[in-house]
Amino acid sequence: MAVIAAWENQGCKSRALSCIMKEIFSHVSTYTIDLHLKYVPSCLNEADAPSRLTNTADSMLSEESWLLVESLYGPHSVDLMSLDSNVMKSSTGVPLKHFTPWPTPCSAGVNLFSQNLRSEQNPYVYPPFVLVFPVLSLLREQGISCTIIVPEMRPLPIWWPILKYYSVESVCLGMKGDKGVVKTPSKRGFILDKGADIIIDWQAINDRTADLDERMISSSDYKRKNSLFETFLCFLEKSPKKPSLATCGPNDGMFQCSCPNRLASATVEGIINQLVNLFDDKGLGRTWCDVERKGNPAVSPVIKEYLKLVQVEQAKAHILPKQAKPIFLTKIRSISAFISRELQKDGSKLKEKFVLYRDQAWFKLQYFAGDRASDLSIVVAQEVKFLKDGSGFVFQHTFGKTLRGKKGRSNSFVIKRCDDNVVCPVKGLLDFVQFAHSCNVDLTKGYLFRVVSESGRVLEKPVSYSVVYERLRYYLSTLGIYEGETPHSFRSGCTVTMALSDSASNVDEVMNHVGWFGKASAEYYGRVNTLIDSEIVASNLAASVSQAENIELQYREKADFSGLKRVF
């Protein structure tokens, strides 16, 4: 492109390129040539492709290495494998006679393996590593003495014994990691190999490791595991036999203690899994041998049998797992209307108004997103973006309860405007951000939903689950409609609404919107199976009463084989 521009403009800023243009112009003028230049993209110029490729197999010795080779084994008369661009030069600076892989202007021959080398005086060759063995075979076949450059590999290659057998003398040009031994091809020509010139900042590494250790120790997972470990060690200490972690078995422990014995079976299973991981972390594996009484006692058959007995016991007692009571749009509308009335009152402080706007935006958003309260609390401004048509927002979670940096895991969902402004999540969020801006609170960076101090200062800290729970209970209790709802009720209400309103045609769509990675959670919280049974199956079964006689007749004719005669 630069050449074309220089030709068309009759010159350029580069003096060297302008001189070349003058020579070309003089030539075309002398021979009356009508020259027109046209740019051809590389993808359309297949013939030019090889000239644009760089290959480390075309490496050459550096000037320092070549001087050493020449002083020990030179002068050399021919470079057996090279290009016009990387051929070695004599002491006078003249390129050596050389053989190339394809025809070039200065080539003395094409393809080394088709040449007769017996007349050559003192050849030199730096072959690509994959061609060392064929080159050695050629030299041995023609009985040629030659200076050859090869790498010392580990494990030793098949040609190494042949090389050692025929070699008279050798010298090491450089060790692994040395720089300046060879020159490698690049788009800027042949440049010195930088080798292993790496500066390691051990202090920075140690500081980073210490920072990660501190984060790990302060994480909730680590604290929970450590608390369980200390509690379990205390439990073993109080046991009659006082076993250690390495010697305890599935039958060790106290059988008359103050521990609760009516935990939900799912809780019992969760504690067992935590103990399995605890023993595994201490090097006891994930298996148990009853014969040797070694391994991980938490996975022993008797523990699994105990868990089954607890599950059966609770099933017989007709104990059902508790689920969050769904909260629906009727209550969202009531809360939103109440907050709007509070905002219109005179004398409200900015602190109180900020909390009211925040709560209103939160409740609307959590309902339509079906998001976890813990995940919504850590939403930052850069996660929220406008849709192109301005009809709503898109949220992109990369961290949360089930998002821990695992590859390919994220939760993206879209929130759109509603016709009813009272419950519209987009309007609620925009009103909140606009009010914050009027109070000189910048929500364009950091957490979106923040706590307010007693003095009325908005802190750079996210609201917690407990704060949201208390605010929700306050609004519902004040309105006299509190029925035990929690922040998780928004998630359940959103899922049930999607199932009953045909907002989602299948469970997969519910999972994608809410951010579940397993169908079990979607079916459990959304009561999908129960709703389908109530709406379709149960209704059809009730309507089948009028066909009772016909159904029984069809069964006897087509499915009841007890009255048929035997063939033999």
DSSP string, 164-191: HHH-S-------TT-SSSEEEEETTEEE
Mean of pLDDT values over 284-301: 86
Distance linking the first and last C-alpha atoms of the chain = 95
Tokens of 390: 């301005």
Q: Pairing state of beta strands 78-79 and 123-125?
A: parallel
How much of the chain exceeds pLDDT 90, in percent? Answer: 13
Note the pLDDT of residue 238.
81
Reported as a pLDDT band with limits 50, 70 and 90, residue 338 is: very high
Say yes or no to pLDDT of 187 above 80.
no
The residue that leads in pLDDT, 336 or 17, is: 336
Reported as a pLDDT band with limits 50, 70 and 90, residue 522 is: low
The closest alpha carbon to 261, from 224, 226, 306, belongs to 306
Reported as a pLDDT band with limits 50, 70 and 90, residue 519 is: low
Note the pLDDT of residue 527.
62
Q: What CA–CA distance (Å, rounded) separates 298 from 277?
A: 9
Letter for the amino acid at 176? K
Tokens of 302: 């008797």
Note the maximum CA span of the chain: 114
Note the pLDDT of residue 475.
92
Q: For the chain, what is the radius of gyration of the CA atoms?
A: 40
Percent helix, percent strand, percent coil in the chain, to nearest 5:
50, 10, 40
For 289, the 3-state DSSP assignment is strand
Note the pLDDT of residue 134.
92
Mean of pLDDT values over 423-433: 88
Mean of pLDDT values over 114-134: 91
Tokens of 454: 């007693």
Return the number of other C-beta atoms located less than 10 Å from residue 299's C-beta: 20
Model pTM greater than 0.75? no
Tokens of 274: 């935590």
Q: Which long-range contacts (CB under 8 A, 24 or more apart) does 125-131 make?
A: 125/79, 125/80, 125/81, 125/149, 126/59, 126/60, 126/61, 126/79, 126/81, 126/82, 127/80, 127/81, 128/57, 128/81, 129/57, 129/153, 130/57, 131/81
